[in-house]
Structures are given as C-alpha cells and as structure tokens.
Structure 1
Amino acid sequence: MHASAGRQSFQQGIQALLPLAPGVLPFGLVTGVTAANQGYSFFEILGMTLLFYAGSAQMAALQLLNEQALPLVILITVVVINLRFLMYSAALAPHMHRLPAKARWPLGYMISDQSFALSMVRNQQQPHAPMDLWFFAGSSFSMWLVWQVSVILGVMVGSGIPASWSLDFAIPLSFLAILVPAIRNSASLSAALTGGLVAVLAHGLPYNLGLIVASVSGIAAGLLVETRKKPAASHQQGAKA
C-alpha cells in the first residue's frame, strides 16, 4: 500500500472510532475517579493505565485492591477478564504475520474491543481484500489516546463528578454502537442474542467468568447456525442443478 493510501486509511480508522469516544470517556473518567479516591498518586494511576490498557480489568483490579483481596485472586481475575484478547489475537494473526515485529508489537499492545470490532466489520464489507491494517492502526491508536486522556481527566477531576450523572450507563451504549452494524446474517444475530442473554444470566459468576461464558456461548451459537446453513445451501444448489 502506498504511503498516501495508508495515511488515508489511518485517518479513516480515527474517524470511525471518534463516534465511539463519548461512550469510552465516561468509563475512563470513572476509572480515574475511582483510583484517585482510593488514594493512588497520579503517576501510580498513569503507570497502571499504561500497563493494563484494559478498562474492565483495571476497574476489577481497583475494586479488589480496595477490598484487600489476595494478589493471586487479583491476578486470576485480570487474566480471566482479558482472555477475550486471545480470541482477538487469533483472528488478527493471519493478517498481521506479514508485518515486521516492530509494527506487530505496538499494534498488539493497542488492541481494544472497539478497534477490533470496527476492523472486523470493515473487513466483512470488503471480503475479497486483505485486512486494512492502517485502518486498524488508526482506530487502535485513537482508542488508546481517548482512554489515556479520559483516565487522566478522571484523576484530575477526582470526586467532583456527581453520582447522579450515571456515567456508567454510557459504557454499554458504546458497545451497542459497534454490535448493531456487525449483525449482518442469522449467524451473527444468533451469536449476539445468545451472548447477551448468557451475559445477563451469568452476571453473578465469580471472577467475572460470566464474560467468558457469554463469549463462548455466543460463538458456539453462531457456529451452530452457520454450520446448519451450509448443508441447506448445498441441498438447494443440488436441487437447482
């Protein structure tokens, strides 16, 4: 890809992520406020945010630290919450293997739910073209920057944000904005509905296992519908022949 085309794709990735920023900003603010109220210094919070770069895991770790949980429990919780990134990495690996290590490592670090979903949707819209990694880089970088800035703002504001604002409500809305365009057939619809239902039913599982159970259930439902569609399609083609 020429430099000008890569620059354009990078900018398109940024533009695709920007509408989701209002849903991410409250999450970062809440994370920064929570950490500041627990007595952590600015540089401790900044270091944790840069090291983790996983909002849900960071919030869970902060809550467990506040409850003086055992370090092993905190570690297991964080690992379980972040297991979804193994699925993301497996999906991206075939597209990123051609990149040099100096490009793969930063992109791997900046993978997020939003950038992964946006790139997958874009790739589905262009099924015969290789994945646009410049687009992925643009959305990933902008998401990383929005998260860092929002957490820092939360630290600076501290407890000045009233609870009546209910900032947490904006978090699921940002994921819905990604999910709806990705539902393009019966398989993806089945995966979304199953995953959402299981996530609600399994919400009370310890160590945030409900997220993993919901993910696996959604994937299984989507695969089941997809595998059942293939024999039906083959039978219809045979009948026409």
Structure 2
Amino acid sequence: MSRSSSDLFAGVRVIIPTLLGLIPFGLICGAVCQGAGMPDWSAVGFSLIVFAGASQMAATQLMADHASTVVVILTGLIINLRMVMYSASIAPHFRGVSTVRKGLLAYLLTDQIYALALARYSEPDAQRMDKVMFYLGGALTIWIIFITTTLIGAHIGSLIPPEWDLEFTVPLVFIAVTVPAIRDRAAGTAATTAVLTALLADGLPYNLGLMAGAFAGILAGYLTERRRDRG
C-alpha cells in the first residue's frame, strides 16, 4: 500500500470513534428539517450546501419561527466563526496545496477532523506523512455519514405525527454540544453571558435575541481571556 493510501485509511480509522456522536446528531438534523416543513431532498440539500450541523439546527429553528432571511444567515455565520480560527491554525500544514484542493479541504472542515488532524500533525513522524490524504480520509468519512444520516432522519421525521413537536430537540442538541466545550473560565463566562442575554432579549423583533446572545457571549469570552492573559 502506498504512503498516501495508508494515510487515507489512517484518517478513516481515527475518525470512527467520533461517529457515535455524529450519527444521532445527523438523524436529529434531518428530522428537525422535516419537522420544519422541508421535504427529504431539501433537508439533504441543506446539509450538502451548508455542511455545518450546529448552524443548520439554529437556522432551521429560526426559519420555523419565521425569522427574516438576514437574521437566519447572520446567525449561521456567527455560529461558524470558529471555522475561521480553525482554518488559520491548520493552514500552515497545507502549504503548496492548490487553491481548488484547499477549497475542498475548507468545505470539509469540522470540529472533529480539525482536532484529530492537528493532533496527528504534531507527532514526530508527521513530516513524512501525506497530510492532505489523512485529512481527507477523516473528513470524507464524516461527510458521508452526516449526509446519509440526515437523509434517514428526514425520512424518519416524515413518519412522526405532527403533534410530536420536534423543536425541543434543538436546545437539547446545543446543550449537548456546548457543555463539553466549557473547559475554562473564558468559555464558561461566554456561555453564561450568551444564555442570559438571549433570555433577556427574547422579546426582540425578528428573533434577534439569539444573535444578541451570540455577540454578547463572544465579547464576554474575549474580555475574560484578555484579562487572564494580562494577569
């Protein structure tokens, strides 16, 4: 087996344990999209174009609440701001890669592949590996599983009676995603500030409460981290 093929399958292997959390997340994304009135093909198309579960969940909830298009788009962009930092952090490992291939790598970027790829790239023998193939092995596995489970979730969602409101799954999913990420004071401050602000701003028009909470959380986390660094 060539080095590139070996690294490709290594990427697949390293991502497998994360699928235990990804599979139910994809199913819920599909079911929530269907519950918001999207047909199966639309739910899958949404995942294909956006490919960002947390943003999709928030956008779907806002669309179901008849928020304006601007609010829906801005909310998705704010939630995905972390991808800008991920990209800047991992970009040095892809020097020399063509612009087209970098575009594909950017499209496939997720929390899981970022963390696992960066950890692998820091190992002593990483200079001899094909970093792009390792990344693609894990990222494409996530992509295939997420798109497939979204389709299954949308189909299952169409079988659920309308009176079984699925909207309650959205905050539950965000709680499950957010709580494990709170590992220091800055993250805790950001999360607490975002929640309190969103609750207090719940009555704002155009569902701007969620966006206000996001901005307040980012600012609070940044200021807390800055104070810690100065200290």
Q: Where does structure 1 lack aligned partners over 5 or more consecutive residues?
A: 180-190, 229-241
Q: Report the CA distance shift for 1:215/1:56 in structure 2 as closer, same or farther (over 3 A).
A: farther
Question: 1:30–1:154: 8 Å Cα contact kept in structure 2?
Answer: yes
CA distance in 2, matches of 1:105, 1:111: 10
Residues 1:13 and 2:15 aligned together:
no
Q: Equivalent pairs: percent with the same residue?
A: 25
Corresponding residue number in structure 2 for 1:234:
none
CA distance in 1, matches of 2:14, 2:65: 38
Q: Where does structure 2 lack aligned partners over 5 or more consecutive residues?
A: 198-209
Corresponding residue number in structure 2 for 1:202:
193
Question: 2:27–2:150: 8 Å Cα contact kept in structure 1?
Answer: yes
TM alignment of 1:129-144, pairs within 5 A:
129=127, 132-144=131-143
Question: 1:16–1:139: 8 Å Cα contact kept in structure 2?
Answer: yes
- In the TM superposition, residue 125 of structure 1 has moved relative to its aligned partner by 2.9
Amino acid corresponding to residue 122 of structure 1 in structure 2: R
Per mean C-alpha deviation after superposition, the further-off stretch among 44-53 and 93-102 is 93-102
Corresponding residue number in structure 1 for 2:148:
149
Corresponding residue number in structure 2 for 1:125:
123
Question: 1:202–1:210: 8 Å Cα contact kept in structure 2?
Answer: yes
Query: What TM-score, normalized to structure 1?
Result: 0.73
Residues 1:193 and 2:192 aligned together:
no
- In the TM superposition, residue 15 of structure 1 has moved relative to its aligned partner by 0.8
Which protein is bigger by CA-based radius of gyration?
1
Corresponding residue number in structure 2 for 1:47:
45
Q: Report the CA distance shift for 1:102/1:128 in structure 2 as closer, same or farther (over 3 A).
A: closer
Q: Show CA shifts across 1:117-136 (max 9, x none).
A: 11112123338737822211
Corresponding residue number in structure 2 for 1:28:
26
Residues 1:82 and 2:80 aligned together:
yes
Pairwise CA RMSD: 3.3
Question: 1:202–1:213: 8 Å Cα contact kept in structure 2?
Answer: no
Q: Report the CA distance shift for 1:52/1:214 in structure 2 as closer, same or farther (over 3 A).
A: farther
Q: Report the CA distance shift for 1:217/1:115 in structure 2 as closer, same or farther (over 3 A).
A: farther
- In the TM superposition, residue 101 of structure 1 has moved relative to its aligned partner by 2.5
Corresponding residue number in structure 2 for 1:109:
107
CA distance in 2, matches of 1:115, 1:100: 20
Question: 1:31–1:55: 8 Å Cα contact kept in structure 2?
Answer: yes
Question: 1:24–1:170: 8 Å Cα contact kept in structure 2?
Answer: no
Stretches of 4+ aligned residues off by more than 6 angstroms: none
CA distance in 1, matches of 2:102, 2:86: 14
Q: Show CA shifts across 1:175-224 (max 9, x none).
A: 95xx7xxxxxxxxxxx93234412431342432346645774687588x3
TM alignment of 1:179-190, pairs within 5 A:
none
Count of paired positions: 208
